[in-house]
A = this chain, B = another copy of it.
């Protein structure tokens, strides 16, 4: 039976080989003239410095947590297998992130040079560069999950792997998010606003840090974030499949393990769907790059419908025929998940597209000043939470109802269906990460084309590639938030199945009217707000140091502004690096500590409510901040395209304010909330035995509340 795991292993290895092959294609390209190689070298060395410092701190953190995992996960016993699984998760995530980012920084000058040849050439290099990250993420994840389950035979051991991946993601996503916005906001506030330097101007001391930020925040950060969600989604289904009651649903002859590995198998075929989408994009000869990326996503989605059906046929062959209807029900859940992910992505797209009403209203609001543009963007951000909420609610309801009805009313089948919807939503993550990593490569390529003086035509081509990246990004962001939401819901269901909570009518009971549970929910709802505030304040504090440094350089050496003397890029990279690490310490600690404390004080039921509260409010905050940020960004771009008077008007100035406020919203706090939710959910799951050892899971105060 477990021989079926050869499919994900082979798929994973194929994916990694393909990533290496694409990396080779990219590296074989012409890296451009001397100046371009020099700039690219700066970016590369900056990114490597950041990664080195980051990974050094991470190593300490990882080792410290490894011992916590070793001693606390099963109180009284050592859980060596979980610890090893945890370490593999950490190393796997770090390795995938490093490979993807390294190729990303090497692709940028080559993409710029490619733009000199043709749009298609520039596009291909950027896109293949992005694919390296996409394929590496999926490959490492599939191999890791399959091997650990194959060897240990225990779904719960995979929890360690997932916990490792999510700890790394927390660091990479938040740290990268703080880094990139420190540099971006710093560069904008002084360079653009005070000295009127254009974007990516080499005289701006923060220009290279800004480019480095794109790589460490948007490539490495986003990659580790989706690696994290991807593994966690698979894990959620695995954990639910081994809970009591699930086996009763199946024919006695059916091997339960078929359903344990179902999410892994579905995602292996999802990988093939992603690869077919990548192939589709690569083969397409013409067309606007932004549309092309989206067509690739749609093509992957359609492919997945067919490929996953083949997957179900294969599993049906191994399973007793009596379970076919159940398998097809879950297949439907996966399809529902994927489609609703795309739909959620498209609503994000609507709320942030410059040719749609919200962004245009925000742009018009800019005509009335800075305050009005902020109010307008904030309000539309809040409004934009409604469609994805309805999307998630529908996806949850349908993927619950279908298996519930097929099994004649089984709750566990229903929630397993919800978890499979989460897995399905993430099935084509290979395409999504590829599209997403494409963005920063083009962004950098544009900067390098500017600094390498490749001429206006080339810069224009690079610009159009960059804009395509932004369009793709809007969809992938909504998609990432939606899928993380379903994933953490699945983890919540898994947690409550394991938490030995009172079960009524087959449903474990987390009673909101119990005071401890209500308190848990309250603390859960407030957590994402607090976490966002800490990250935004971190960016602000750091950016202000960056501003001081840039001003200092211009003051002490005025020849930087004339271009006679080079700016000190390294100093700015240093500030962003050390600052981002410093600022993520408290958010990281609280993301693990708060659920831990809630579990210890109020017990597992309150902890479940805490997670539910955090999931719901986290979703609202994440969508609001991402969409408001995206809309402000595009409102500014729309004005810069010559609308409402174009650059230099008061409306343009106001729109820049909106964009600057939106920067940490959309690139630091908003997308980091996903990671926060996964980390908190896994913290709950990993220490569940420890919590259960305290007053039987009621917590220290449980007897009173």
Contact = CB atoms under 8 A, between A and B. Distances in A.
A511 interface: yes
Contact of A536 (B375, B400, B418, B530): B375
Given A379-B537, A400-B705, A532-B382, A616 B393 contact: no
A382 to B, nearest CB: 4
A325 to B, nearest CB: 18
Contacts of A401: 704-705
Interface in A375-425: 375-376, 378-383, 385-386, 389, 392-393, 396-397, 400-401, 404-405, 414-415, 418
Nearest to A502: B504
Nearest to A384: B533
A612 B529 contact: no
Interface string A485-522: 00001000100100000101001111111110111011
Contacts of A534: 379, 383
A401 B96 CA distance: 51
A193 interface: yes
A608 B515 contact: no
B371 A660 contact: yes
A379 B540 contact: yes
Given A371-B660, A385-B526, A525-B525, A533 B396 contact: no
B511 A375 contact: no
A619 B522 CA distance: 10
A481 to B, nearest CB: 14
Interface stretch (A136-144, A220-228, A362-370): A362-370
Prevailing SS type, chain A contact patch:
helix
A530 B189 contact: no
B657 A519 contact: no
A372 interface: yes
A54 interface: no
A624 B704 contact: no
Given A530-B386, A616-B613, A536 B393 contact: no
Contacts of A515: 396-397, 400, 414, 418
Chain A: interface size category: 35 or more
Contact of A382 (B376, B522, B529, B619): B529
A523 interface: yes
B369 A657 contact: yes
A657 B374 contact: yes
Given A536-B379, A657-B369, A704-B401, A396 B519 contact: yes
A578 interface: no
A193 B372 CA distance: 13
A433 to B, nearest CB: 27
Contacts of A523: 389, 393
A609 interface: yes
Nearest to A374: B661
Given A396-B519, A496-B513, A522-B389, A529 B374 contact: no
A389 B536 CA distance: 21
Contacts of A537: 376, 379-380, 383
A386 B526 contact: yes
A515 B507 CA distance: 10
Given A370-B370, A404-B704, A523-B389, A608 B512 contact: yes
Contact of A529 (B400, B415, B620): B620
B504 A509 contact: yes
B507 A513 contact: yes
A533 B381 CA distance: 8
A540 B374 contact: no
A376 B540 contact: yes
A511 B493 CA distance: 12
A620 B529 CA distance: 8
Contact of A547 (B368, B418, B661): B368
A617 interface: yes
Contacts of A193: 369
A79 interface: no
A553 interface: no
A451 interface: no
A511 B521 contact: no
B507 A504 contact: no
Given A369-B189, A523-B393, A530-B383, A507 B511 contact: yes
A525 B536 CA distance: 23
Given A530-B382, A612-B518, A620-B617, A372 B540 contact: yes
Contacts of A189: 368-369, 371-372
B511 A504 contact: yes
A514 to B, nearest CB: 6
A132 to B, nearest CB: 34
B540 A385 contact: no
Given A382-B529, A496-B513, A530-B385, A521 B704 contact: no
A544 interface: yes
A543 B365 CA distance: 11
Contact of A513 (B510, B513, B619): B510
A664 interface: yes
Interface in A537-560: 537, 539-540, 543-544, 547
Leading 9 A-B pairs by shortest Cβ distance: A371-B660, A382-B533, A525-B616, A379-B533, A510-B512, A370-B657, A379-B536, A383-B533, A370-B370
18 contacts: A189-B368, A372-B540, A372-B543, A374-B661, A375-B540, A376-B540, A378-B533, A385-B529, A393-B522, A396-B519, A397-B519, A502-B504, A508-B513, A512-B609, A513-B608, A518-B612, A529-B620, A617-B620
Interface of A: 185, 189, 193, 365, 368-372, 374-376, 378-383, 385-386, 389, 392-393, 396-397, 400-401, 404-405, 414-415, 418, 489, 493, 496, 502, 504, 507-515, 517-519, 521-523, 525-526, 529-530, 532-534, 536-537, 539-540, 543-544, 547, 608-609, 612-613, 616-617, 619-620, 624, 656-661, 664, 704-705
Given A193-B369, A401-B705, 4 more contacts: A379-B540, A380-B537, A397-B704, A504-B504
